[in-house]
Chains A and B, each alone.
Chain A
């Protein structure tokens, strides 16, 4: 082998850099860490494992149904696991799950992705008062 004294140290440096995530986590004591989610109160619209893999597809389908086919009854979703009807809305998720930080962010932060859903959609983590309905306007108009 030519240039042994340069090539072998460079290979070693490359390997150290390549496996940074492993030894970084080993030193930080988080090696093999997998986020654990608390069990929500109710039953999910579909099977848990199916949801873990395909929840974005489900949300996409709900989005298309509710917006594009809202007039034809698209806001009703039929679960193929339980056969029950659900309202196709992210608020259906919040009826069981506590909030974005306690649920969505756990895995999304772990794998380093940042979906933009909550730029617009409501989450229970928004710290603003709720609009309660038409009765609230009586303080402006009598």
Chain B
């Protein structure tokens, strides 16, 4: 006859065995350590505002539509499955073009068009406020959202000084005409934003090539080549040269976020 003590012990052990299913080892060897990546790569974008303005002016003159979408924005929307809705209040945008006029036209009478996208800050305020740690910064500087963890609280949208983030008020599939299988769609109730085409970057880095996001590719192919993307940790890259040789402007640099989208040729030089 089994003692009560032994019986209870056996029952407990059997229950524990049933729940503790075999797990895959969480310790996986990756190619590089985060420290190595941080020392080697930091992705950034440079915008030639003069070329961008020129491209937009031509496009508006040709189409007669002041809200026309330039190649970079169309390419981004299609590459990343960004939906399009009639109602502009709920339409998610990863990249958009803003028209700027200086408040002192007697000093500089020019009007600019500049692309606005996620700045991939060095100190991203959106990551600081994220409750669930869904937003995070990768060691190579890209600020990304883990959609699986996002609960849609929208704190990050309030924290972002650049308005780079959009909330999915409706199922984005309703607003998609085409699907890019390489990028996941989003669902209702998560926040989304530009990722610098992270899937392309990881693919290119694995192959040892130079990565190029969709907007930059489209800008060079159909636009004026205003956008330059690259690694600022590499002193020989094109973007490093641009940053050395030009006066660059970061958006709202006074906030200390250290954004990594740089605007050059804003007039004056």
Contact = CB atoms under 8 A, between A and B. Distances in A.
Contacts of B31: 72-73, 76
B75 interface: yes
A141 B71 contact: yes
B67 interface: no
A137 interface: yes
A63 B26 CA distance: 12
Given A70-B202, A73-B206, A128-B178, A122 B28 contact: no
Interface stretch (A12-20, A24-32, A53-61): A53-61
Interface of B is mostly: loop
Interface stretch (B45-53, B140-148, B257-265): B140-148
B31 to A, nearest CB: 3
Contacts of A129: 177-179
Contacts of B28: 61, 65, 69, 74, 78
Contacts of B144: 67, 70
Contacts of A66: 202
A71 B142 contact: yes
Contacts of B71: 137, 140-141
Interface in B84-117: none
A141 B187 CA distance: 30
A47 B28 CA distance: 19
Interface residues of B, number: 50
A76 B180 contact: no
B74 A137 contact: yes
A1 B147 CA distance: 61
Given A75-B202, A75-B206, A120 B41 contact: no
B32 A131 contact: no
A121 interface: yes
Contacts of B74: 137, 140-141
Contacts of B254: none
Contacts of B140: 71
A36 interface: no
A44 to B, nearest CB: 15
A63 B178 contact: no
Interface in A116-131: 116, 119-122, 126, 128-131
Given A72-B37, A122-B185, A137-B222, A131 B78 contact: yes
A81 interface: no
Contacts of A61: 24, 26, 28
Interface stretch (B8-16, B124-132, B213-221, B242-250): B213-221
A130 B30 contact: no
B267 interface: no
Contact of B179 (A58, A65, A131, A140): A131
Contacts of A58: 24
Contacts of B3: none
B65 interface: no
Interface string B59-78: 00000000000010011001
A99 to B, nearest CB: 12
A71 B202 contact: yes
Interface string A85-127: 0000001001000000000000000000000100111100010
Given A61-B26, A71-B205, A126-B179, 7 more contacts: A53-B21, A70-B144, A71-B32, A121-B185, A137-B218, A138-B222, A140-B74
19 contacts: A53-B21, A54-B21, A58-B24, A66-B202, A70-B138, A74-B30, A75-B202, A75-B203, A76-B31, A119-B187, A120-B185, A120-B187, A121-B184, A122-B179, A129-B178, A131-B178, A140-B74, A141-B223, A142-B222
The 8 closest A-B pairs by CB, nearest first: A73-B31, A141-B222, A72-B30, A131-B180, A71-B140, A122-B181, A71-B138, A119-B187
